[in-house]
Structures are given as C-alpha cells and as structure tokens.
C-alpha cells in the first residue's frame, strides 16, 4: 500500500504533490541478463553488448553509446528495451555492486550477472536515485565475502520515495543536462591534454621550432647526460606516519604527491603538501636538502611504468620550507642551465620518458636510482628558446587546469543537488 511521504528540499516550480513510498518490486519487473564473457567481446562484433563490470568502470546513470560488441548468436542473448534499469548481480565489493544505469536504447545485449528492471517509471530518474540516495541501502543488501551477490529478491524489498512520473521526467532531464555539461568539460580537458602531448612531441623532437625575436633560427640543441647538468641531493625516508597535513614548519613532498600531479610544474601555495611532524628534528636536515626553485623531484618507485620516474619542477616555493621525502629523487641544476618552468616539461617529453622506462627495474614494484638517472641523455636548447617553449606549454597547462577546476566545481554542485533533490 502507498502512503504519502515528505517532499525534497529542492523542487521544480509547479510540482506540489507529495512523494509516495513504493517498494521497487511493486513498480518493476525483474529478470536477468545472459552470459557474455570477456572472451566474447570482439572489435567488429555484430551485437552491441553490456557486461556487468562495465557498470562501475565505464558507464554512469545513463547508457546510450555502448563500448563493447559480440558475435554471439542472437538467440543466445537477452536484449534491452528502452528505459530498462540494470544493476550488477555480482561484484568484488558492496559499493561497486550498488550501481544502477538506465539503458536508453532497445536491442542492446545484456550480459550475465546483470539484474534487469523493467518499469513504467522514468528509468533515468530511478538510476540517479538508486545511485545516490539509495546507494548504501543497496550495498547493505549485497551478500558474500570474496565475491558479493545482489539478488532480485533483495532488491524488490527496497523502499523508494517517488514523485509523479512528470516530476520524475523533469528531474531526470535536469540531471542529464548537468552530466552532459560535465562530460563536455571532460572532453575539452581530454582534447587539450592530447593537443599538449602532440605539441610536446613535435617541440622536443625539434620538428617544431620557435624563432627568436628577429625571426632567426635558434642554435642547435646541446646534448648532455643528466649527471652533467644536475646534482643529486639526498632525500629523507619519512613515511606518511611522520606527516601532518595541518601544522608544521617544514613541508615534505612524497612520491604519491608526484604520481597524482597532472602538471609538470609545482606551485607550493596551491598544492596540498603535508608537514613533517614536530617530533622530527629539523636540525637533522642539511641546508642543501631544502628544495630550491628550479629543482626537480622524481618519483623513484611505482607499480606502473607510466608513473615510475615521473617528475615535477618546483617553480614556486613562496615562503615555505620543503624537503623531498620517501621514494623520491631530488635533482638540482648545477649551474644556470635552465629557464624556470622548462625542465619539468622536458622530463615529461617522450624521449626522456622512454629512457626512464628502460632503466626502471623490478617486477611488482618498479624503481629507478640517481645513478641510472644520471646516464639519461637530454637535449637542451638555449635559455631563450626554453622560455618560448615553457611559456607556450604553461599556457596550455593553465587551460587544462581551468577545465579541471570547472569539472570539480560542477561535480561538487551536482553532489549537493542530489542530496537535496531526493528523499
């Protein structure tokens, strides 16, 4: 039996009806998908398909464009109808499995381990609702240890608070528009990153060259080993247990801070870098160990070839004291080799990254050493040409950072909306 329930904090004008309590089993009909293994996915398949794992790695609340295809015979498949809601029937964690998506097109093959819910309610609205307001309730329904399962018999008892279908459609359209804006910003950021990568390849291979202020060619680049132009400074081995994000006198950059840094340039005033605990004596830190503008800090360890040896250049230190910490390599130019802001980009160039990946050693965890890093060959242009290159690439980074900031603001705004638009 339905009964009236409270209304949400944020609501569209013109909708005054109270939301009503329903069980998911009373508004939907449950079924299951049919087995499509990873081996069944082929690039040129005839049938578009969705596998359960893709719900928490690839898709959001709506699925329109499908990434996978299969050649399994149609008679052995289960196909979607427009507005179907799909939820994984198994997964590795309870939170992963509590993921709903609305299939926006009919005729898409739905793999095994997918709960399918057909309903006359708005599937997009329900997907947003289930993924947000009801996510932890769904997670708590899942059973299992190494593999968790979620059954239709459990989902059918999930209690929902639903508005009228016209209001559902209004909310669904609004949230879809918000997500489209976020996706457009992500695409813009991705295109800028691709553009930067392409331009960097041409700049550092010298296929693309700047001219000087008189329109003349710059001199040839000079090849040097890193050990010829950098001194390697000893670093500390303080772990995260020795750090404090709120208080302290000396900041300590950790290899994880480098892995997560999208830009090559490091501005201490805008980075969330922890302090050394007050229990650690600053007197034990040698004067040379304190970072200086223009220093490079490398992450000397990672499980991923793409991250090992990743470097940042310290371009703005302000009044902060900073030291390099656990699993880092601290490199300092030994004379006036570089224009500030150039070396960091150089270390992310394809030529340097290829050499770093070749010297990385290890199986599960890859590592590099100052000794091996010192033998890497780099090509160095004049400081004037460096300035042109650094300024150009830094301007692209600013645009990427602006997109990233917009995305984060939109996602925070969306999260706040979702908390207030559902009950």
CATH code for position 395: 1.10.287.1120
* Residue 367 tokens, joined: 């590592």
Residues 290 and 239 in one domain: yes
Q: Which residues contact 181 (CB under 8 A, 6 or more apart)?
A: 410
- Read off φ and ψ for residue 264, nearest 5 degrees: -85, -15
Local confidence band at 1 (pLDDT 50, 70, 90 cut-offs):
very low
Residues 278 and 365 in one domain: yes
Tens-digit pLDDT profile for residues 304-333: 877 889 999 999 888 888 899 888 999 999
Tens-digit pLDDT profile for residues 89-121: 988 888 888 999 999 999 999 998 999 999 999
Residues 297 and 372 in one domain: yes
* Residue 188 tokens, joined: 């813009």
Residues 360 and 395 in one domain: no
Residues 243 and 339 in one domain: yes
Residues 150 and 169 in one domain: no
Residues 203 and 340 in one domain: no
Tens-digit pLDDT profile for residues 125-165: 999 999 999 999 999 998 887 788 999 999 999 999 999 99
Residues 197 and 152 in one domain: no
Residues 252 and 187 in one domain: no
User: What pLDDT is attached to residue 320?
Assistant: 81
* Residue 398 tokens, joined: 């600013």
Residues 376 and 227 in one domain: yes
Total residue length of the chain: 423
Rounded to two decimals, the pTM is: 0.82
User: What pLDDT is attached to residue 251?
Assistant: 86
Residues 131 and 205 in one domain: no
* Residue 88 tokens, joined: 């994984």
Nearest to 94 by CA among 134, 159, 149, 131: 149
Residue with tokens 């460096």: 386
Residue with tokens 């609004």: 174
Domain span holding position 374: 222-380
CATH assignment of the domain containing 76: 3.90.220.20
27 pLDDT above the threshold of 80: yes
Dihedral sign from CA coordinates of 225, 230, 236, 240: negative
Residues 385 and 280 in one domain: no
The total domain count for the chain is 3
């Amino acid at each position: 039996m339905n009964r009236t329930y409270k209304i949400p904090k944020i609501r569209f004008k013109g909708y005054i009806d109270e939301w009503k309590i329903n069980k998911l089993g009373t508004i939907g009909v449950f079924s299951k998908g049919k087995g499509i293994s990873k081996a069944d996915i082929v690039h040129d398949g005839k049938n578009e398909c969705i596998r359960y794992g893709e719900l928490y790695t690839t898709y959001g609340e709506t699925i329109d464009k499908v990434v996978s295809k299969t050649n399994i015979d149609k008679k052995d498949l289960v196909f979607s109808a427009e507005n179907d809601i799909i939820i994984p029937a198994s997964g590795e964690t309870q939170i992963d499995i509590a993921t709903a998506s609305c299939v926006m097109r009919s005729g898409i093959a739905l793999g095994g381990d997918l709960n399918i819910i057909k309903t006359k309610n708005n599937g997009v609205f329900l997907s947003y609702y289930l993924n947000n307001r009801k996510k932890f309730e769904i997670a708590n329904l899942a059973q299992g240890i190494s593999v968790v399962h979620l059954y239709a018999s459990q989902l059918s008892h999930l209690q929902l608070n639903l508005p009228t279908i016209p209001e559902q459609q209004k909310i669904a359209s609004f949230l879809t528009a918000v997500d489209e804006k976020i996706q457009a910003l992500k695409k813009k950021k991705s295109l800028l990153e691709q553009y930067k990568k392409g331009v960097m390849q041409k700049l550092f291979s010298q296929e693309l060259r700047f001219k000087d202020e008189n329109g003349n060619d710059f001199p040839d680049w000079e090849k040097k080993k890193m050990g010829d132009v950098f001194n390697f400074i000893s670093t500390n081995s303080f772990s995260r247990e020795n750090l404090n994000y709120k208080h302290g006198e000396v900041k300590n950059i950790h290899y994880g801070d480098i892995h997560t840094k999208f830009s090559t340039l490091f501005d201490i005033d805008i980075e969330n870098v922890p302090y050394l605990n007050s229990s650690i004596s600053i007197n034990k830190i040698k004067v040379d160990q304190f970072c200086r503008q223009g220093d490079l800090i490398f992450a000397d360890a990672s499980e991923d070839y793409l991250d090992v040896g990743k470097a940042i250049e310290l371009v703005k230190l302000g009044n902060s004291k900073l030291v390099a910490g656990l699993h880092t390599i601290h490199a300092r130019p030994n004379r006036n080799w570089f224009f500030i802001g150039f070396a960091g980009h150089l270390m992310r160039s394809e030529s340097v990254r290829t050499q770093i990946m070749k010297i990385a050693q290890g199986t599960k965890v890859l590592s590099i050493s100052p000794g091996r890093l010192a033998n890497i060959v780099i090509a160095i242009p004049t400081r004037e040409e460096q300035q042109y290159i650094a300024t150009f690439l830094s301007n692209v980074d600013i645009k990427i950072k602006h997109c990233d900031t917009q995305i984060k603001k939109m996602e925070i705004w969306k999260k706040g909306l979702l908390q207030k638009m559902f009950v």
